[in-house]
């Protein structure tokens, strides 16, 4: 349930005023002012011609980069198909491209996710699995948490026999700053149910995604 700021003097329209809110969202004007401050912090002049439209563009870009805050991953999965004709083999979706932002530096994490589950009578449209990845990726993230969130949501909503999620990510906070290691890929995984308990099921999944 969203709580509105009490006694606020700001009546400017909000982009997502009635939707689920992770935090109390500032106004568009406040966001653009913050971008102007960061431009000045970088050492440039937000009033020079080339930068005049930048705060507006950055604010709109944030609506794309962080669209996941306005999506409910559990409801994405709730339309399930129960007539599986007895299909009880692994469902694997591999190479799901995602773009995220690291919560420590707010720079991109770009990579691929691989998602599998072993159905227990209920299956879901495969595009829904990709949308769950996207709903968690398009937030400020750490890769470990994102991996666990994707697995837990699929496990909670579909109640399958098991879920496996492997996420690979290239972190721009490692390639463009800090230690400057552009070729490092971080790999994280969460294995639940049979993928955790049964080595042969886990091996089959890893072979499907080319990681065995
Ligand atoms: Zn970082």
Give the separation between CA 153 and CA 141, rounded to whole angstroms.
Answer: 16
Q: Which residues pair with 118 in a beta bridge?
A: 162
Query: One of 114, 171, 172, 204 is an active-site residue; which one?
Result: 171
pLDDT digits (tens, 9 = 90+) for 112-157: 999 999 999 889 988 999 999 999 999 999 999 999 999 999 999 9
Is 114 labeled as catalytic in the residue annotation? Answer: no
* Dist. CA 175 → ligand 1 center (Å): 10
Q: How many residues does the chain have?
A: 212
Tokens of 111: 């990579």
Query: One of 32, 101, 102, 168 is an active-site residue; which one?
Result: 102
Q: All domains of the chain, ordered by start, with CATH?
A: 28-65 (no CATH), 80-208 (3.30.1130.10)
Is 171 labeled as catalytic in the residue annotation? Answer: yes
Is 3 labeled as catalytic in the residue annotation? Answer: no
Asked whether the beta carbons of 114 and 212 are under 8 A apart, the reply is no
pTM: 0.86
Is 33 labeled as catalytic in the residue annotation? Answer: no
Report the percentage of the chain scoring pLDDT > 90.
75
pLDDT, position 8: 37
Is 30 labeled as catalytic in the residue annotation? Answer: no
* Dist. CA 206 → ligand 1 center (Å): 27
Residue 186 CA to its chain's centroid (Å) = 16
Q: Which of 34, 27, 31 is nearest to 9 (CA)?
A: 27
Mean pLDDT of 94-103: 98
């Amino acid at each position: 349930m969203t709580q509105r700021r009490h006694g606020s003097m700001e009546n400017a329209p909000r982009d997502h005023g009635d939707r689920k809110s992770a935090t109390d969202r500032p106004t568009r004007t406040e966001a653009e002012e913050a971008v102007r401050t960061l431009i000045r912090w970088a050492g440039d002049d937000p009033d020079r011609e080339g930068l005049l439209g930048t705060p507006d563009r950055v604010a709109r870009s944030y609506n794309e980069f962080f669209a996941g805050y306005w999506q409910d991953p559990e409801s994405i999965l709730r339309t399930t198909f129960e007539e599986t004709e007895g299909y009880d083999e692994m469902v694997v979706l591999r190479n799901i491209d995602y773009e995220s932002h690291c919560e420590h530096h707010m720079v991109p994490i770009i990579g691929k996710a691989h998602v599998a589950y072993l159905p227990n009578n209920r299956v879901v449209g495969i595009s829904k699995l990709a949308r769950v990845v996207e709903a968690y990726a398009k937030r400020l993230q750490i890769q470990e948490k994102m991996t666990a969130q994707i697995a837990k949501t699929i496990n909670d909503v579909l109640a399958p026999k098991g879920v496996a999620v492997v996420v690979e990510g290239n972190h721009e906070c490692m390639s463009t700053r800090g230690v400057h290691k552009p070729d490092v890929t971080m790999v994280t995984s969460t294995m639940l149910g049979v993928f955790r308990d049964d080595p042969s099921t886990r091996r089959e999944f890893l072979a499907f995604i080319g990681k065995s």
